[in-house]
Amino acid sequence: MSLVRLLPAWFHAIADYAVAATLIVVAAAVGGSNEAVAAGIVIGAVVLVVSMLTKYPLGVVKVLPFTIHSAGDYLAAALLVLSPFALGFNDSDTGLTAFYIAAGIAVLAVSLITNYQYSPKRQWAAQPTPAAA
């Protein structure tokens, strides 16, 4: 579900891989409690795997419909915002907490403006129909 279908699938795909890599690298580089680091690495890895499995421009093994992928985007956003509180590291790892909340809001924002109706078969310009013989 999108509010506005502004963002094309290829741009969303780039954002997915950027988010996955950033979550993993920041969590590993910044460090902190096991829960805080694990949250970033696990959510980042799941975003990476889902992206690789999605039927969109940068999917590797295209088995997951992009419309289904959208549910994963909203789940990732929720997990990023809620994980510091659910896992109890919001007071001890305030830097990662702020980063995860900001990342979750960014993922939500991108999801709300993505056109999830991508199809590689969609034709962008009207094609003339062949004349019946």
- Least confident range from 66-70, 75-79, 93-97, 117-121: namely 117-121
pTM of the model as a whole: 0.84
Confidence grade of residue 5 (pLDDT, cut at 50, 70, 90): confident
Whether 132 and 22 have beta carbons less than 8 Å apart is answered as no
* Enclosing H/E stretch for 34: helix 34-53
Is the pLDDT at 62 greater than 90? The verdict is yes
Residues in the chain: 133
CB atoms within 10 A of CB 107: 25
Residue 11 to residues 15, 58, 67, Cα–Cα distance (Å): 6, 10, 15
Q: What is the pLDDT of residue 126?
A: 45
